Structure 1
Amino acid sequence: MSNFIVRKVAVLGAGVMGAQIAAHCVNAKVPVVLFDLPAKEGAKNGIVLRAIEGLKKLSPAPLGNKDDAACIEVANYDDNLELLKGCDLIIEAIAERMDWKHDLYKKVAPFIAPNAIFASNTSGLSITALSEGFSDELKARFCGVHFFNPPRYMHLVELIPTATTRPEILDQLEGFLVTTLGKGVVRAKDTPNFIANRVGVFSMMATIHEAEKFGLSCDVVDDLTGSKLGRAKSGTFRTADVVGLDTMGHVIKTMQDTLPDDPFAAIYKTPEVLTKLVAAGALGQKTGAGFYKKVGREVQRLDFATGQYVAGGGKADDLVARILKEKDPAKRMKALHDSTNPQAQFLWAIFRDAFHYIAVHLEAVADNARDIDFAMRWGFGQKLGPFETWQAAGWHQVANWVKEDIDAGKALCSVPLPAWVFDGRNGVHGADGSWSPARKANVARSTLPVYLRQRFRAPVLGEAGVDGTTAGITVFEDDSVRIWHEDDGVLILSLKTKMHVIGAGVIAGLSKAIAEAEQHYKGLVIWSADAAEGGAFSAGADLQSMLPLFMSGGVKAIEPEVAKLQQAFQAMKYANVPVVAAVAGLALGGGCELALHAAKRVALIESYIGLVEVGVGLIPAGGGLKEAAVRTAAEAKGNDLLQFLKNNFMNPATAAVSKSALEARQMGFLKPDDVIVFNPYELLHVAKVEARAMHDAGYRPPLQRLIPVAGRYAIGTIMMQLVNMRDGGFISAHDFKLGQMIATVVSGGDVDQGSLVSEQWLLDLERKAFMELLNHPKTQERIMGMMQTGKPVRN
């Protein structure tokens, strides 16, 4: 199979989506040129330049590192079409107007390179209709590639072929999207709004319809349909505000225009409330008002009856909240179905409507049931897809309830469930794959080579698959860790504590894993099974577990535990096999220190790394400040240490956390040769490859060296700045004390500038300061506040 290399991407259209797709390409080190119309006034590329400036201000940030905005090449359709000839992938992302897209295609088609893939990022227009007028040769290289907003964070990309798209084009593009851009790809049929928007927008319309029927306000509906249901916490109406009510109106109109014969067509009618809001310019979050409006600090909701904004904050009834906490999905669904509470009846109704819809439309919109579940999980933030939810709640029972409601005229339309629903099955996902009505069989997963990099692919409920918590051969397991391998020369340490916090059990497990790896393996990888599903690498030290020790023996009882942590991390740094930290999600405090002491880090782009101990009135004491001093010495290379100390002091002193792995590299938490991975399901594969490569290259741990430090000269300089901040009211007296202690450790203590000290000297300084703070009443206030509320106390 020949390599498909994307040397450069062109994005046509510098609107919200186009600019963010370009930004994400740059995150992944893919050169990109961003096109738009020539500006009527000022610089000809003004539209694109303004869009790139806008990227730096957007939240959540589309760029992993704001400085990378400068890497986006700017272009306009008048002067720069020649640039298209050097692009291997061209993504059109202009407004959803078929006529505008066709006009643009006529202009760019002559400049598209003979092997380039041409794709439209339309959210619902027919890909076949878009390709009308193309030469046969270009038609074969054209498809839909639908990113979800915001493209950096949303895992889903829908890939939509036409009847004439060459299959290898799709395979090549899927490989690029999965590994380089880190996406979860679902192949959709060329039907209006494809899969996720078709099912997702229907669900929103049905929810609005049922809310009206049961007389529920938008805040109550959002509380019921958000995280309590395992869905995005924004619920239904707030999600519509975030998406934009004009965008939602457009997607609904596409359904009205293109699906007149759909049995559910009556539900595609634009809700009157939506029409009124759009007419008034209340388009949701982007205009400051939609279903919700922020007035000062208060978030008000729209009163559907009066059209006025009133106080919000409505919640689910206690009875319904209790039902939703039921762990058994079958009992939970039965309780909702049987209850006479209007909120419970509303929830049963929206489940019934969704199950009815996906069963009727599965064959038309998707190849199989798995694609609908993944589309809804990755595109709409649902923990379980709709088919998985149905199957978990008891296939037969739920199917019969849905049928009863259809027969009784309670459903949204009278079309019956398809015959396959009642063919004796227990669901749509099984050991051999997921149900495809068109093929009348279960369909296995894609076998494209790119998926060999995903040892534990995204799981589907009911499908046979290996799971990172039980796979492989276990060497040792307790409540804190699992040490295991897959017979490939690499040992894996997985943390099992909540948020993977580090207590005595994890420290002991780390020591055990290093000893085992040194005896029998090429390397050790620290990776936890929920890394791909949004888990933390480690949220830091387990303060809760230290409490009994503190209560019984006071501060003195804690010091040996801190020493053990320091020594475990040092043993890891100087282990005789490479230790690779596979970092994803939060790596805070002790979790950051765990990563810092590895021989190498392989980090997911969505890694949020920082030394945050000042939030609980402490300073890092697991070697984090010692490593800051080591980094300073390495960066200074014999120059004035103070210049290079600033960053390494400020990060822990302000509890700065990286907003991406790219930013973590800038902040010094990742080294230039650490690897950044974009797909969470590839993290373990890449970490193992790195560990083996280091071993095969003859890995030796670093030699222990003395470290030149900036000493009392640097402490004095930093203290002057801290005094100004304290006296100016920017920091509290306790923050001042913390800053002073951090400055003392990273500068190497009360020694001359340029003195050489050992790592142990720095660790002793850390530990001494940590113990002193632990005794301090202000620190104890901060710790108790954090444990009670989860929020930092400012004192």
Structure 2
Amino acid sequence: MNRNIKKVAVLGSGVMGSRIACHFANIGVQVLLLDIAPKELLPAEEAKGLKLDNPAVKNRIVNASLQAAVAANPSPLYRKPDAARIKTGNFDDNLQEIAGCDWTIEVVVERLDIKKSLFERVEQFRKPGTLITSNTSGIPIHLMTEGRSDDFRKYFCGTHFFNPPRYLKLLEIIPTPHTDQAVVDFLMHYGDLYLGKTTVLAKDTPAFIANRVGVFAILDVLQVMTRLGLTVEEVDKLTGPVIGHAKSATFRTSDVVGLDTLMNVANGLAQGLPNDEAKDVFQLPDFLKKMGENKWLGDKTGQGFYKKVKGEGGKSEIQALDLNTLEYKPGAKVKFATLEATKPIEKLADRFKVLAAGKDKAGDFYRKTFAGLFAYVSNRIPEITDSLYKIDDALRAGFGWELGPFETWDALGVQKGLEIAQAEGKTVAPWVQEMLAAGHTTFYQVSEQGAKQFYDIDSKSYQAIPGVENFIILDNLRATGKVVWKNAGASVLDLGDGILNVEFHSKMNALGSDVIQGLLKGVEIAEKDFRGLVVGNDGPNFSAGANLGLVYMFALDQEYDELNLMISQFQQAMMRMRYSSIPVVSAPHGLTLGGGCELNLHADRVVAAAETYMGLVEFGVGLIPGGGGTKEMTLRTAARYEDGEPEYNLIRNTFMTISTAKVSTSAAEAFDLGFMRRGDEIVVNSNRVLAQAKAAAIELAEDGYTQPIQKTNIKVHGKGALGMFMTGVSAMKEGRYISDHDVKIANKLAYIMCGGDLSSPTEVSEQYLLDLEREAFLSLTGERKTLERIQSILTTGKPLRN
């Protein structure tokens, strides 16, 4: 049957339930969010004379939870107004409304008796054939269906979201023996395509896949650090970005998530896994038990493995817990020779051999933790899953690892990893040695067609990973010789079907001369031999902006001719891209700032990941957008002058967007700020962005794309609007909201957007605005305060307001 999800009921409005509701609202689904009605009045309610049956009282819990979610930072919503799609209620008055819902998700407290009791009530109102799932992270899914009808059990399974649901990509689907296969297939597809998740099919085993392996990895680290005498700061240095994990690493992450959560999962695993060969690892170390007794649970209680205190002069400082004395001490500088050896190695996969070969305590740490992890995951097949790639998918999507355990093992070398595990006394599953003996030396390989394949234990052969045929993975194309052209900062790859892709691979994907050359080369080749061009990459971020270090160096040396040439070339590249004879589609994701935003402004179409943070941020470093961004935003505003809203209001709103360096908190908000426009697209699953961008380029080409002509009729308002802006800026200065240097930058921005000091409204060309833009940018690079702002960003990463 065709199944459409138009309305979802979320039962339970706690941190998890309210945020699941918000994410469904993000994708346009109507949500019914319910929770229990209070049993007692609050003093404020009594003072108002309210009774328990008053609607405001009965919905107090659910409304407070939703309000807290909407106010949270980072926000669980793409746009605050999306909260209007969520209707609240309580189990007493509104449970019958689930009859009109296509999917009911239970997210109440982790107690089987409470869940079963709620499901008994749900079955009175649920429409037969509709989906019913539980978000439990630990309770066996099959136990929840006891006493339920055949229809309930047929459409019931586990859907384990990870918190926060908007940002963490993992969704584990856990069927019971009674779940209809069509339901499983639907949820796997819906989670991927509509919710933007990496959907992983898990077996109904304790903690499923991600938490089973992830919590093992954390607790194993605790045991190894104790044996080696390492500190909290040292372990966080060893388990952070250097191995492709989050910057918060092990202990800072634990503080953020909450140590009670870690301990609850660990205790549940310790009790539920009597036959696990590594069951001793799940026994909490004494220091963790003591922290639990002391209520040192992390950020929620103000202290955990770290604690913020007032230092000398009242300045805040972060202290770390000494696990031997349980006293907090000032942070110490961490340095290991092994880590120093990896600094020149940019590619993550290339670091692991160096890390495992270290001769210091860091090397010991890596050998012991790799050994434990490799042995553990090898022995979890087929217990928790039949396919090794699912373990990697779960850890990458749920714990934010860049490489999963088997991918890490591949990077180190399967044979080498096996030897390390054996040397540390760990027992690896026999299938690994059988795989090696058969001549298969890796867990993954790329086929001649560019598809990633995994080693399938049952068939003893490599099989295609299901679902990835819908993704474009540039590394796989590179491995199969699809690179058409490259330099140090960019590559041009053949995506097939007549579409090229320009990929950046500079640091933070900054737009320097190499990247500009790559863009121009991509357009040139596409115009000659292809029918469309995509600009996108697989990096963590699309682009953090132009190469600010190069701007600073030229400005410091007063090389203004070089700077002028650099800005001119950037502008020309944007215009070349915009006015090429083939369609150009940009595919942004993550940080898309400054020059990265300007590039997207000049694409024929933008196909953005939902998690795209786009903005013209040049004001923060004392500059104005100089790569065509000011011109393009002025042009776009002028195109809206016939909409009916006063023209000065429209241009003022655009001015404020640029002058306050606003960055969208999502692609949806990028529409609100004018960085994206009608015809541009949002893709919820970032893995699908490049494929969708390619499809958009094909669509534009097949629709008969014709080369556009530069605009010469952009309406600007001259002195009239310029006076308005300068008066407003002066008032901001008088109110001490901005500095003298802010005034100077703002007035230069206004000058460009008004077309200079023209005596009356006039139509001007794009090149006219570009020239004004370049002149303003150049003049600001000669200001000492601008150089101070750039230096602050380059050295500290923090903006300076001077």
TM-score (structure 2 length as normaliser): 0.89
* Cross-structure match for 1:74: 88
For residue 400 of structure 2, the aligned residue among 363, 370, 381 is 381
Report if aligned partners of 1:541, 1:591 keep a CA contact under 8 Å in 2. Answer: yes
The CA deviation at 1:99 is: 0.9
* Cross-structure match for 2:216: 202
User: In the aligned structure 2, how far is the partner of 1:561 from the partner of 1:217?
Assistant: 47
Tell me if 1:739 matches 2:742.
no
SS of residue matched to 1:655: coil
Choose 642-651 or 279-288, whichever is displaced more: 279-288
For residue 318 of structure 2, the aligned residue among 299, 324, 334 is 299
* Cross-structure match for 1:419: 430
Alignment of 1:181-580 (within 5 A): 181-296=195-310, 297-311=316-330, 313-322=331-340, 325=343, 328=350, 331-332=353-354, 334-336=356-358, 339=359, 341-406=360-425, 416-423=427-434, 425=436, 426-430=441-445, 433-435=453-455, 437=457, 439=458, 441-442=460-461, 444-447=463-466, 451-456=468-473, 467-469=476-478, 473-528=482-537, 530=538, 533-534=539-540, 536-545=541-550, 554-580=559-585
The CA deviation at 1:332 is: 2.5
Report if aligned partners of 1:159, 1:170 keep a CA contact under 8 Å in 2. Answer: yes
User: In the aligned structure 1, how far is the partner of 2:261 from the partner of 2:114?
Assistant: 17
Q: Which amino acid aligns with 1:564?
A: Q
Q: Which amino acid aligns with 2:444?
A: H
Change in CA separation of 1:266 and 1:549 when aligned onto 2, cut-off 3 Å: closer
SS of residue matched to 1:619: coil
* Cross-structure match for 2:615: 610
Report Cα offsets for 1:470-522 as digits up to 9, x if no partner: 55755443334333434413333333433333334433443443344445544
Report if aligned partners of 1:326, 1:332 keep a CA contact under 8 Å in 2. Answer: no
Change in CA separation of 1:479 and 1:405 when aligned onto 2, cut-off 3 Å: closer
* Cross-structure match for 2:147: 133
Change in CA separation of 1:287 and 1:547 when aligned onto 2, cut-off 3 Å: closer
User: In the aligned structure 2, how far is the partner of 1:9 from the partner of 1:646?
Assistant: 40
The CA deviation at 1:753 is: 5.3
* Cross-structure match for 2:779: 772
Identity between Structure 1 and Structure 2 (%)? 40
Report Cα offsets for 1:327-349 as digits up to 9, x if no partner: 5556435524xx4x445433332
Q: Which amino acid aligns with 2:14?
A: G
Report Cα offsets for 1:21-46 as digits up to 9, x if no partner: 11111222222221211244434222
User: In the aligned structure 2, how far is the partner of 1:753 from the partner of 1:86?
Assistant: 59
Report if aligned partners of 1:34, 1:72 keep a CA contact under 8 Å in 2. Answer: yes
User: In the aligned structure 2, how far is the partner of 1:329 from the partner of 1:765?
Assistant: 47
Change in CA separation of 1:436 and 1:111 when aligned onto 2, cut-off 3 Å: farther
Report if aligned partners of 1:641, 1:710 keep a CA contact under 8 Å in 2. Answer: no
The CA deviation at 1:611 is: 0.9
Q: Which amino acid aligns with 1:556?
A: D
The CA deviation at 1:660 is: 1.2
* Cross-structure match for 1:160: 174
The CA deviation at 1:98 is: 0.8
Q: Which amino acid aligns with 2:9?
A: A
Report Cα offsets for 1:645-667 as digits up to 9, x if no partner: 23211122122211211111111
Report if aligned partners of 1:501, 1:538 keep a CA contact under 8 Å in 2. Answer: yes
User: In the aligned structure 2, how far is the partner of 1:215 from the partner of 1:479?
Assistant: 42
User: In the aligned structure 2, how far is the partner of 1:705 from the partner of 1:538?
Assistant: 30
* Cross-structure match for 1:662: 668
Report if aligned partners of 1:224, 1:315 keep a CA contact under 8 Å in 2. Answer: no
Tell me if 1:96 matches 2:137.
no
Report Cα offsets for 1:583-621 as digits up to 9, x if no partner: 112221121111101121111111111111123322112
Q: Which amino acid aligns with 2:497?
A: D
Report if aligned partners of 1:317, 1:343 keep a CA contact under 8 Å in 2. Answer: no
User: In the aligned structure 2, how far is the partner of 1:794 from the partner of 1:484?
Assistant: 42
The CA deviation at 1:571 is: 3.3
The CA deviation at 1:126 is: 0.7
* Cross-structure match for 1:462: none
Report if aligned partners of 1:618, 1:738 keep a CA contact under 8 Å in 2. Answer: yes
Change in CA separation of 1:109 and 1:593 when aligned onto 2, cut-off 3 Å: same
User: In the aligned structure 1, how far is the partner of 2:587 from the partner of 2:190?
Assistant: 22
Report Cα offsets for 1:682-710 as digits up to 9, x if no partner: 11121122223233334445563512223
Report Cα offsets for 1:412-466 as digits up to 9, x if no partner: xxxx4333233361343356843455x3634624545xx4421329xxxxxxxx6
Choose 439-448 or 593-602, whichever is displaced more: 439-448
Q: Which amino acid aligns with 2:404?
A: G
SS of residue matched to 1:32: strand
Report if aligned partners of 2:338, 2:354 keep a CA contact under 8 Å in 1. Answer: no
Alignment of 1:48-67 (within 5 A): 48-67=62-81
For residue 126 of structure 2, the aligned residue among 99, 109, 112 is 112
Report Cα offsets for 1:544-563 as digits up to 9, x if no partner: 45677668882133324423
Report if aligned partners of 1:605, 1:662 keep a CA contact under 8 Å in 2. Answer: yes
SS of residue matched to 2:320: strand
The CA deviation at 1:310 is: 2.7
Report Cα offsets for 1:259-308 as digits up to 9, x if no partner: 12323223322333333333333321122222222224212222334433
TM-score (structure 1 length as normaliser): 0.90
* Cross-structure match for 1:689: 695
The CA deviation at 1:785 is: 4.2
Report if aligned partners of 2:555, 2:782 keep a CA contact under 8 Å in 1. Answer: no
SS of residue matched to 1:78: helix
Report Cα offsets for 1:723-766 as digits up to 9, x if no partner: 23334433222121001111111222212454332222222221
Q: Which amino acid aligns with 2:476?
A: D
* Cross-structure match for 1:759: 766
Alignment of 1:721-732 (within 5 A): 721-732=728-739
Change in CA separation of 1:352 and 1:485 when aligned onto 2, cut-off 3 Å: closer
SS of residue matched to 1:79: helix
User: In the aligned structure 2, how far is the partner of 1:298 from the partner of 1:367?
Assistant: 47
Change in CA separation of 1:6 and 1:316 when aligned onto 2, cut-off 3 Å: same
* Cross-structure match for 2:51: none
Choose 234-243 or 80-89, whichever is displaced more: 80-89
Q: Which amino acid aligns with 1:490?
A: I
For residue 680 of structure 2, the aligned residue among 649, 652, 674 is 674
Choose 243-252 or 734-743, whichever is displaced more: 243-252
Report if aligned partners of 1:641, 1:709 keep a CA contact under 8 Å in 2. Answer: no
SS of residue matched to 1:444: strand
SS of residue matched to 1:583: coil
Report if aligned partners of 1:435, 1:441 keep a CA contact under 8 Å in 2. Answer: yes
Report if aligned partners of 1:323, 1:335 keep a CA contact under 8 Å in 2. Answer: no
The CA deviation at 1:793 is: 3.7
Change in CA separation of 1:749 and 1:95 when aligned onto 2, cut-off 3 Å: same
SS of residue matched to 2:697: helix
The CA deviation at 1:398 is: 3.3
User: In the aligned structure 1, how far is the partner of 2:342 from the partner of 2:506?
Assistant: 25
* Cross-structure match for 1:583: 588
User: In the aligned structure 2, how far is the partner of 1:24 from the partner of 1:636?
Assistant: 35
